[in-house]
Structure 1
Amino acid sequence: MELERIEIVEDRTAASRCDEGFLRVSRLLLRNVYADGSASVAYACDVVSRPGSDAVVAVLYQVEGKGGGRRVRVLLREGVRAPVYLRRHKNFVHPDPREYRELAEVVAGIVEPDDPPGEAGLRRRAALEAEEEAGCQLGPEAFEPIGGETFASPGVSDEKVYYRAAAAALDRAQEPSGDGSAMEEYAHLVVCDLDEAIERCRTGAIPDMKTEVALLRLADHLGYLPQLGCFADELPAELRARHRRLGVEPPPAAT
């Protein structure tokens, strides 16, 4: 199904309170208090929040081949993102001619209030999102952390993003069922090489920050060097000894 357009049926902004709706805006007056007892002048600060505040990225990948012929494939989800699509109705200092009919992203979802706390809850949420958005049925234990969490836009929102990754049989992935909303019905799946996906992020073909962060972390997690198209264990001994994952732990050894 091809998207023709998104129509604004009604703009309810003027009749809505900032503490209503899926996204809430807290309009605060703050001041900084310093250790020496002094304080700054009061200043306005708007904070955008949503239920749960936090989100989990679930990077799904598959390592194909053996030895020097290995390559990493990743699963991306392409769908419409209305806020980005609607940029066409605004004027920007730097004109943006792109239509953004669809946007490729890694699988991700928001933390729900009934999720268990801690690592168990994050892995459970990652597994649920993988099934809902990519049709991949994986146990929570399949998901490994790939580095620490990040804030999506700390000057505006308190949302924090957690990163998890799991190996999956991508050829068995099914078209996503979605969450039942119209925003999800246009989505479809794409599988591509990891280095190609990273390149598309850097050229702007995939203009999604969490996806670029997640893919680069996945490469380090696996010891894969996308610029060279090889794994660290294929490097000469001297370079192999110098290779570091820079905070991203390697996957557990196979037993």
Structure 2
Amino acid sequence: MPRIAAIEVVEDYTERARCDEGFLRLKRYRARNRRADGTTSTVYPIDVIDRPTLDAVAVVLWARTPRGIEILTRRGLRPAAYFRRGKPAALPEPEYLLVEEIVAGVLEPGERGVEALRRRGAEEAREEAGIEIAPERLELLGGPFFPLPGIVSEKIHLLAGEVPRTDVEGLHEAPHEGDGSPLEEGALLAWRELHAAIAACEAGEIEDGKTEIALRRLAARLGA
């Protein structure tokens, strides 16, 4: 498949879009704090972003190799990062197209419980990395967390699973089919040594928060 060069906006329909449609739902409230003594604060606005399923999974796929523990990362299209271009940023930064992170995906409606998390994690590993792993081989990697609790209701559940190391070195194409979305096009996979990947997070080379949390938890779990 040809390399993705850009994301082209065909139409910007922001002004006429409703807050309760689309992949994400924006809810706007006017609220106040009610205190234990019965008094209340002034009224203030709250914006909350959620979606029909509030939870997601992120999966660290790792392998034991002669070089130590290696983990698989995936570089995929991330429009929110891409459309930072031209906007004022606190520090100089590159123009983003592909963002490096671990395999991840949102739960489907009705998926609840630990076994459902494992099944979803295994499905995302197959779709996004072309790696087959039995759901029961995926272990919870600590408790879930809010990535941005001030405005986003989503929680992320971390999973980890040991898999055979593929022979491919360097960046290589992810499976073309993915979940059928154009956002799956042009994704690249790469194996990294675990400590080198954590160092890449600290250096700002890997800028995804859930990935850094997952890698540090894995290192602690394995005593690496």
Give the TM-score normalised by structure 2. 0.92
1:10 aligns with 2:15: no
Q: Which residue of 2 aligns with 1:110?
A: 106
Q: Helix, strand or coil for the counterpart of 1:17?
A: coil
Superimposed CA distance per residue, residues 90-130 of structure 1 (whole angstroms, 9 cap, x where no aligned partner): 233x2543011211110010011132x21111111111111
Distance 2:93 2:140 in 1: 37
Change in 2 beyond 3 A, CA 1:96/1:20: farther
1:78 aligns with 2:68: no
Distance 1:12 1:172 in 2: 45
Report matched runs for 1:136-175 at 5 Å. 136-171=131-166, 175=174
The structure with higher relative contact order (CA 8 Å, sep 6+) is 2
Q: Helix, strand or coil for the counterpart of 2:157?
A: strand
Matched to 1:8, the amino acid is V
Superimposed CA distance per residue, residues 61-86 of structure 1 (whole angstroms, 9 cap, x where no aligned partner): 01124xxxx61000001122111011
Q: Which residue of 1 aligns with 2:87?
A: 90
Q: Which residue of 1 aligns with 2:51?
A: 50
Superimposed CA distance per residue, residues 172-224 of structure 1 (whole angstroms, 9 cap, x where no aligned partner): 78833311111111112111101111111111111110111111111011111
Report matched runs for 1:193-212 at 5 Å. 193-212=193-212
Give me the CA root mean square deviation: 1.6
Distance 1:183 1:37 in 2: 50
Superimposed CA distance per residue, residues 6-62 of structure 1 (whole angstroms, 9 cap, x where no aligned partner): 221110101101111111100001111122222211110000012201111111001
Superimposed CA distance per residue, residues 212-251 of structure 1 (whole angstroms, 9 cap, x where no aligned partner): 1111111011111xxxxxxxxxxxxxxxxxxxxxxxxxxx
Q: Which residue of 2 aligns with 1:30?
A: 31
Give the TM-score normalised by structure 1. 0.81
**Greater Cα offset, 34-43 or 130-139:** 34-43
Q: Which runs of 5+ in 1 are unaligned?
A: 225-255
Are the equivalent residues in 1 in contact too, given 2:32–2:41 (CA < 8 A)? yes
Distance 2:52 2:185 in 1: 22
* Larger-gyration structure (1/2): 1
Distance 1:202 1:182 in 2: 30
Q: Which residue of 2 aligns with 1:182?
A: 182
